[in-house]
Structure formats: structure tokens, C-alpha cells
Amino acid sequence: MTAGPLAGIRVLEVGTMLAGPYATMMLADLGAEVTKLEPAGGDISRNVGDSYFASLNRGKRSICLDLTAPAGQARLAELAADSHALLVNLKPSAIRRLGLTYDALRQYNERLVCVALTGFGLDNGDDPAFDYVVQASTGVAALTGDPAGPPTLPGYSSADNSTGLTAALGLLAQIVSGRGGQIDVSLRDVMLSQLNYHAAAYLDNGIEPQRRPHGAHSYYVPAQLFPTADGYLALFVTHDGFWKSFSKEAGITGYEAMAERAANRAEVLELVTGALLTDTALSWEARLRPLGVPTAAVRTLPQALDDTPEMVVRAGDHRLVASPIRVSDWTPDYRPPPRLGEHGGTTE
């Protein structure tokens, strides 16, 4: 079998719960050797449940270390000397107290890449920074939900997952540079970055973002969820060619230009809603997709997984979602998550 693109890359992880373990699982899926350094009680996500832990830690190794003890620190030094990177997601004070920074470890390996994944930045204190707290504090929650109702959350850990992916990118970028160093990635900064065009509209033009019914896009019309005769339909008309195809199928005339549709948002949405109510979401999807119109019936997660069996893989006893990164001529080796201390510790 062809080796994975990250074969030979050795990554240490001092991770807890979601963001850090998700980052390193993406690397493990691509062939990196990822070793979790866990305390005697293990990563606390082990207590959430086997499926939860497996969804973030498949294909890794586990070494049980007490990083507060001299023996644990000695073993950390040995591992750091033979690794390419260390990724940590703990409070900044704990990261420094446990010697998990580049400044502390460079004496053992000048080319080691140390990634600190925190809530607000390595130098910005220990305030609690769980995913939902960060979504609330950065404006994400305020943009989500119906304007007539309360702010809401998307239903999954978008801040943790997004920050994990960003941390993995930063880790790889520094490895490619050939230099060691400290990488600092925070949930707060990542979520502000992901509000890119909303932030630019406010910073450049003073336009404050607002919640719109059915998750409507700020610029494109129609681009939102619509009720149908049965179910909801996501319709995303981003240019005039899409509108031409959609409006012909839906029996709507006029509003050929994007600017005209945006200027007459309410009228356009009324026409589109009326047209879509004449058929079901699945039927509209079947009618519009062959025309190249971006659309999808709203599905539950079980329905989506049933529709994409190629994205379901087995890792030991667990059925999980596959890596989203597909590499030509290579398939990941999806191995089960490690047992706590399966690959050693300071007492072996």
C-alpha cells in the first residue's frame, strides 16, 4: 500500500475533549504517527463515551504520563527530541506550568513545532472558553437563528472543529518551513476570521450584520431555506444564470439581475416561496439539480449518512465518518482509538 502523505511525521498530543484531538486525528488519518500523552485518568473525553472518544482519537497511540512528576517530564523530553510537533489544548497557565511550550522544549529539539490551542490566545489568560461560549462572544450566535427569536447555535461544535483544522494547518505550515517554533491558535481568533465578509462589511463600510429569516444570505437573493409542500429546501442563487434556470422552472418572470433581486428582496422571496410551496423539497431538488441550480432538501444526519455510504468507515468496533481529505492512490488505515496507556508510560 502507498504510504500516506504524512508518513514519517511524528506528532505528540496533550489533548482534551475536542479541538486538539480533532486536529491530530486529521493528521493521523493522513498517515502521521500521533501519540496522545495522557494523565492517569486519561483524556476526560474517555468518560463521555466510547463512540465520542473514538470519533476524535482513532488511529493514535497512547502513553500514560504524569507531567507534574520528574519522570513524566524526563519522558516528555525524550519524546520531544524524536518528534516533529507537539499540539496542546489546555489553559495557557497549564501549558506553561507543564513545560509544553517551544521555549521549554527547544533545548531537546530546535526544530520541534509547538502548537498551543487555547480559548483566547496563549498570552490572554485562563478565562473559560468552551465552544458555545466562544460562539456567543464572537458574534456567531447573534447571527444565527430567526430574527424574531433568540440567538441560537448551529447544533454542533463549530468553534472547536474549525480551530482544530486551523491548528493542524499551522502545525504543518511550520513543519514545511523546516524551522521549529511556537504556534498560537485560539478559538476566538478563528471564529472572528470565519466571519470574514461580515466583518469586512462592518469594518470597511459600517454595515452591521443582521439575522435574517430562514438563514438568508446577506448579499444573494434568493439564498436561504424555503418551506415547500413537504419539508424545507435550501436554494442558493448566487448569480443570474442560476436565477434564469430556476425562475423558468418555477414559473417566475422578472428580476433578471442580481442587483434587482437584492433591491427587491421581499418581493422576490414572496414569489419564490409561493412557487416552492407547490411541490415537495425532494421533488424540487430532483427538478432543479439537473438544471445546475444549487439546491438541496433539508435532511437529517441519519438521512445524509444513508445517502453517502462511502463516508462511513470502520475503525475497530466503531463505525465513524471518514476523513474528508481524499488522496489519490491512497486510502487511510482507519485503526481503533488507543486504550489508555496502551503504548507505555513512565512506570513501564
CA 313: distance to chain centroid? Answer: 19
Q: Give residue-wise pLDDT tens across range 4-43.
A: 999 999 999 999 999 999 999 999 999 999 999 999 999 9
Look at residue 348 in the predicted model and tell me its pLDDT: 42
Q: Are strands 33-38 and 61-64 parallel, antiparallel or unpaired?
A: parallel
- Residue 40 φ then ψ, to 5°: -60, -35
Rounding to the nearest 10 degrees, give the CA dihedral for residues 131, 132, 136, 138.
Answer: 10
The grid cell for 287 is 427538478
Rounded alpha-carbon distances, angstroms, from residue 244 to 69, 121, 240, 241, 251: 68, 47, 6, 5, 10
Residue 129: pLDDT band with limits 50, 70, 90: confident
What pLDDT shows up at residue 3?
A: 87
Mean pLDDT of the chain: 95
Q: In which band, very low, low, confident or very high, does the pLDDT at 128 lie, cut at 50, 70 and 90?
A: confident
| Residue 2 confidence (pLDDT) | 77
Q: Which domains does the chain possess?
A: 10-194+312-321 (3.40.50.10540), 213-227+232-297 (3.30.1540.10)
> How many Å apart are CA 227 and CA 277, to the nearest integer?
7
Whole-angstrom distance, CA of residue 186 vs CA of residue 115: 10
pLDDT at 306 over 80: yes
Q: What would the pLDDT profile of 248-289 be if each residue is shown by its tens digit?
A: 999 999 999 999 999 999 999 999 999 999 999 999 999 999
pLDDT in tens, 79-100: 999 999 999 999 999 999 999 9
Per-residue pLDDT tens digits for 163-186: 999 999 999 999 999 999 999 999
pLDDT higher at 1 or 131: 131
Q: Using 50, 70 and 90 to split pLDDT, how confident is the model at 345?
A: confident
* Residue 303 to residues 140, 228, 241, 289, Cα–Cα distance (Å): 27, 18, 30, 18
- Of 335, 336, 338, 332, which Cα lies nearest the Cα of 29? 332
Residue 250 near residue 272, CB atoms below 8 Å: yes
115 within 8 A of 121, measured Cβ to Cβ: no
Per-residue model confidence as pLDDT tens digits over 211-238: 999 999 988 999 999 999 999 999 999 9
Can you give the pLDDT at residue 107?
98
Rounded to an integer, the average pLDDT of 292-308 is 96
Report percent pLDDT > 90 for the chain: 95
Separation of alpha carbons 51 and 70, rounded Å = 34
- Checking if the pLDDT of 1 tops 90, the result is no
